[in-house]
Amino acid sequence: MLSHLTLFGGVWYAGLTPDMACTFTLHSLKCTVLAWALQLQVDAADRASQGHHKQPGVSGCVQKYGRDDVVGQLRCQSSVLDAIEQNWAPKIPLERGIRALQTPVSVRPSGSKYAVVEDSETESESSQGESSSVVTSDGEQSSECDDVDVVASELVEFEGPWIVNTVSGVGHRALSVDEDDSNWCLACRPGSVMHAGYEMRFDNPWFDGFRLCRHRGCC
Amino acid sequence: MKRTVRSSPYQVADLQSVASVPRPIYRKVVFINPFQVSRQGLEVVAPSSGAAAPVSATFVVGRGVRRHVNVGLAKEIGSPTCRLLREREEEEREQLADLWISLSASVATDSDILSNLPSAGKEQLKKLFLDRAPATLRKHVSGWRLWLAFCAAHGWQPGAPSLQEFLDFVTSLHEGSRGDRGSHRAISMQNVVSSLSFAAHKLQLTKLLHCLESPLIQVWRRSGKWSIQLGREAVPLPLNIVQRLEEALSTAPAEEHLLISVILLMVWASLRWSDAQRLRLSSVTFDGQHLKGFCWRTKSSAKGMTFGCCAGGCAGVGWGAIFFAEVEKLRSACPTRDYLLAHNGKPLSYIYSYAFPLDAVWWCMVCWLDS
């Protein structure tokens, strides 16, 4: 259930479309630094510590008698922060690394230490040492968008209309049944029976407080 | 178990004529989301019925406009009473154990435990279920109820089904999980069978356990592996989002510092929402560079875990110091407090968080990422 708290509002900030913003969930917070650390080839033990994961094949006594559970985590974060200071910008992998999210311009702090860096273009230049060889390639990220691809389909902006269930508060994408757009159905359940609580909206109902349907046909 | 679809009196082919059809009982959207956001004004209005609630969402979402998020955190700081989240969870566990005992009454004759302890009190039997987390107990209730209802409809013994009966149930579940849609969709077969395994193991329902261990049922449980698709996973945040959140701390009003810094804590310490919420405030330390603390229970560890993070962050704002200041405020009001965020004077629960408060978290991100 937690997997899709799709109310992230990147709509208002640089370049993210509503559908792209809905890509992020609350669990994105946990995986963020872990994904960055993998790209930097941070030691697996430190990454396990960062994610509070047990190291496979290592006895729990090793950790227990170390008497310090956070040192690996701090080392992992230090590696990431050091790389960021050197203008390294992480990729955002999608679909287990098959694709990468095309992120907007990464605005660095205005101090002299940082500069404005565009993630997708400066990767090879800014990455140093081992990190450059690990970061996944993003050469195909925007050229191929298969509509069978669940995550990729989320990145295609849907401009409406929507059908909302005013009883349950759920909004669905609307599909036209006829060529003249006189009859509409729910994208998730084209054959379903709609009661009078359904309404058609031409603006994204999320802005009116509706939840968006999580079915693949609707997102 | 297939459900028949009845035609609705409100069925219409053309949605434009919906207005002329008498409507069923209308439930306000605010029950789903306490905020109603009108796109034209981009103004967020708190529900009228919640006048007494400390939700004063008077912020306006839009570029260049003052934005403000208040989820009742500031009022909670001054609250004289402070009930521990751990106590609340214990209470919930007790309630769920009671529920399981009542649900197990229909299989008492088939249970090795219940049949051998006819005079055992409810308190004794409750211990059977008290070793599990409330979320686990809650998760399995629906599956077990489904099985009980199915058996009642067919006149079967839920504690001692025949293999053919159990196979019929599994087949029906499998069809339902694939065929039905929407809110009436049957729970997935694997989850229900897991619930039955849980109950059968706890109550020692020998015949049900025998059915579950049958190779025929095991095959059904693994039947989905050939159709598994690429899973939907949480996408990591881009770097600029994290940076903007950190920068927002320098411009946000004081009452929003806690909310923003909790988000950053979850990012940098790689914590789940439920982990961060179960932070023991008295354990939080800050040495100027590193922020450390102890979550007293997590999804993966009943004994809790420690965390540590670099407090400087990636934008040079020093979010850790701000978070620590907020924590100090909270624990000065209640030294034993064992949770971070509150709403209406109560710990923000995992389930309730879907309805409102985490909307505020995201709205907070909307607002401050835009600045």
Q: What is the DSSP string of A1-23?
A: -GGG-----GGGSTT--HHHHTT
Q: What is the pLDDT of residue B280?
A: 93
Whether B12 and A194 lie within 8 Å, measured CB to CB: yes
Nearest CA in chain A to B26: A167
**Average pLDDT, integer, range B254-266:** 86
Q: What is the pLDDT of residue A8?
A: 36
Rg for chain A, CA atoms, rounded: 22
Residues of B in contact with A195 (CB under 8 A): 8, 10-11, 24
pLDDT band per the 50, 70, 90 thresholds, residue B245: confident
- Domain contains A6: no
DSSP label at A123? H
| Facing residue for A29 by CB, picked from B26, B63, B267 | B267
Residue linked to tokens 């049922």? B217
Q: What is the pLDDT of residue A142?
A: 33
Of the ranges A88-102, A148-162, B241-255, B312-326, which one carries the lowest mean pLDDT score? A148-162
Whether A27 and B234 lie within 8 Å, measured CB to CB: yes
| Facing residue for B270 by CB, picked from A52, A167, A169 | A52
- Domain contains A150: no
- B158 vs B46, higher pLDDT: B158
B282 contacts B331 by C-beta, under 8 angstroms: yes
Contacts of B256 (CB under 8 A, 6+ apart): B68, B69, B70, B364, B368
A30 plus A124 within the same structural domain = yes
Residues of B in contact with A155 (CB under 8 A): none
Q: How many C-beta atoms surround the C-beta of residue A113 within 10 A?
A: 11
The mean predicted confidence, pLDDT, of chain A is: 68
DSSP-derived pairing of the beta strands B290-295 and B285-286: antiparallel
DSSP B321-345: HHHHHHHHHHHHH-TT---S-EETT
| Probe site for chain A from B16, B229, B240 (most A CB atoms < 10 A) | B240
Residues of B in contact with A150 (CB under 8 A): 229-230, 232
Could you report the per-residue pLDDT of A2-18, keeping only the tens digit for each? 333 333 333 433 234 55
pLDDT band per the 50, 70, 90 thresholds, residue A104: low
- A183 vs B277, higher pLDDT: B277
| Percentage above 70 pLDDT, chain B | 66
A214 plus A173 within the same structural domain = yes
- A94 vs A40, higher pLDDT: A40
- Domain contains A126: yes
Of the ranges A42-46, A51-55, A165-169, which one carries the lowest mean pLDDT score? A165-169
Whether A92 and B61 lie within 8 Å, measured CB to CB: no
- Domain contains A15: no
Residues of B in contact with A109 (CB under 8 A): 243, 247, 315-316
pLDDT band per the 50, 70, 90 thresholds, residue A173: confident
Q: What is the pLDDT of residue B312?
A: 92
Nearest CA in chain B to A110: B315
Does any CB of chain A come closer than 8 Å to the CB of residue B268?
A: yes
A82 plus A166 within the same structural domain = no
Task: Say yes or no to pLDDT of B324 above 70.
Answer: yes
pLDDT band per the 50, 70, 90 thresholds, residue B181: low
A148 contacts A155 by C-beta, under 8 angstroms: no
Give the span between the Cα atoms of B317 and A147, in whole angstroms: 41
pLDDT band per the 50, 70, 90 thresholds, residue A219: low
| Facing residue for A104 by CB, picked from B240, B275, B305 | B240
| Percentage above 90 pLDDT, chain A | 21
Q: What is the pLDDT of residue B31?
A: 27
- Domain contains A114: yes
| Facing residue for B14 by CB, picked from A1, A183, A208 | A183
**What's the one-letter identity of residue B217?**
I
Give the span between the Cα atoms of B119 and B289, in whole angstroms: 60
A107 plus A194 within the same structural domain = no
Q: How many domains are contained in chain A?
A: 2
Does any CB of chain A come closer than 8 Å to the CB of residue B162?
A: no
Give the span between the Cα atoms of B276 and B309, in whole angstroms: 13
Give the span between the Cα atoms of A16 and A36, in whole angstroms: 20
Task: Say yes or no to pLDDT of A53 above 80.
Answer: yes
Task: Say yes or no to pLDDT of B69 above 80.
Answer: no
Which of A150-164, B55-69, B300-314 has the largest mean confidence? Answer: B300-314
Residues of A in contact with B248 (CB under 8 A): none
Q: What is the pLDDT of residue B5?
A: 59
Which of A42-51, A149-158, B115-124, B353-362 has the largest mean confidence? Answer: A42-51
DSSP label at B7? P
Whether B24 and A195 lie within 8 Å, measured CB to CB: yes
Nearest CA in chain A to B247: A109
Q: What is the pLDDT of residue A113?
A: 36
pLDDT band per the 50, 70, 90 thresholds, residue A128: very low
**What SS3 state is found at B187?**
coil
Does any CB of chain A come closer than 8 Å to the CB of residue B135?
A: no
CA distances from A199 to A95, A163, A195, B18, B23 (A): 34, 5, 9, 8, 11
Domain boundaries, chain B: 13-81+236-371, 85-223
Give the span between the Cα atoms of A191 and A183, in whole angstroms: 12
Q: What is the pLDDT of residue A76?
A: 96
Give the span between the Cα atoms of A111 and B258, in whole angstroms: 25
DSSP label at B238? P
| Percentage above 90 pLDDT, chain B | 25
DSSP label at B279? B
- A4 vs B241, higher pLDDT: B241
- B356 vs B192, higher pLDDT: B192
pLDDT band per the 50, 70, 90 thresholds, residue B311: very high
- Domain contains A144: no
Give 3-state DSSP helix, strand, coil % of chain A, rounded to 5.
Answer: 35, 10, 55
A122 plus A184 within the same structural domain = no
A37 plus A117 within the same structural domain = yes
pLDDT band per the 50, 70, 90 thresholds, residue B17: low
A114 plus A182 within the same structural domain = no
Does any CB of chain A come closer than 8 Å to the CB of residue B38?
A: yes
Owning domain of residue A169: 162-218
Could you report the per-residue pLDDT of B192-235, keeping only the tens digit for each? 899 999 999 999 999 999 999 999 888 887 777 777 667 778 88
From the CA of B33, how many Å to the nearest CA of chain A? 6
- Domain contains A143: no
Whether A208 and B244 lie within 8 Å, measured CB to CB: no
| C-alpha neighbours within 13 Å on the C-beta side of residue B70 | 20
| Facing residue for A211 by CB, picked from B8, B32, B237 | B32
Q: What is the pLDDT of residue B369?
A: 52
| Probe site for chain A from B20, B27, B29, B139 (most A CB atoms < 10 A) | B29
- Which B-chain residues 179-238 have CB contacts (< 8 A) with chain A? 181-183, 229-230, 232-238
Q: How many C-beta atoms surround the C-beta of residue A201 within 10 A?
A: 18
Whether B240 and A105 lie within 8 Å, measured CB to CB: yes
B294 contacts B269 by C-beta, under 8 angstroms: no
Q: What is the pLDDT of residue A44?
A: 93
Whether B234 and A71 lie within 8 Å, measured CB to CB: no
- B317 vs B366, higher pLDDT: B317
Task: Say yes or no to pLDDT of A125 above 70.
Answer: no
Whether A119 and B370 lie within 8 Å, measured CB to CB: no
What element of type H or E holds B266?
Answer: helix B257-268
Whether A8 and B365 lie within 8 Å, measured CB to CB: yes
- B222 vs A125, higher pLDDT: B222
B192 contacts B150 by C-beta, under 8 angstroms: no
- Domain contains A206: yes
Task: Say yes or no to pLDDT of B16 above 90.
Answer: no
- A136 vs B217, higher pLDDT: B217
Of the ranges A88-97, A152-161, A188-197, B117-126, which one carries the lowest mean pLDDT score? A152-161
From the CA of B259, how many Å to the nearest CA of chain A? 14
Q: What is the pTM of this model?
A: 0.65
pLDDT band per the 50, 70, 90 thresholds, residue A114: very low
**What SS3 state is found at B294?**
strand
Q: What is the pLDDT of residue B260?
A: 84
Q: Could you tell me the two tokens for A46?
A: 């430190």
Of the ranges A118-127, A189-198, A209-218, B213-222, which one carries the lowest mean pLDDT score? A118-127
Give the span between the Cα atoms of B305 and B299, in whole angstroms: 10
**What's the one-letter identity of residue B344?**
N
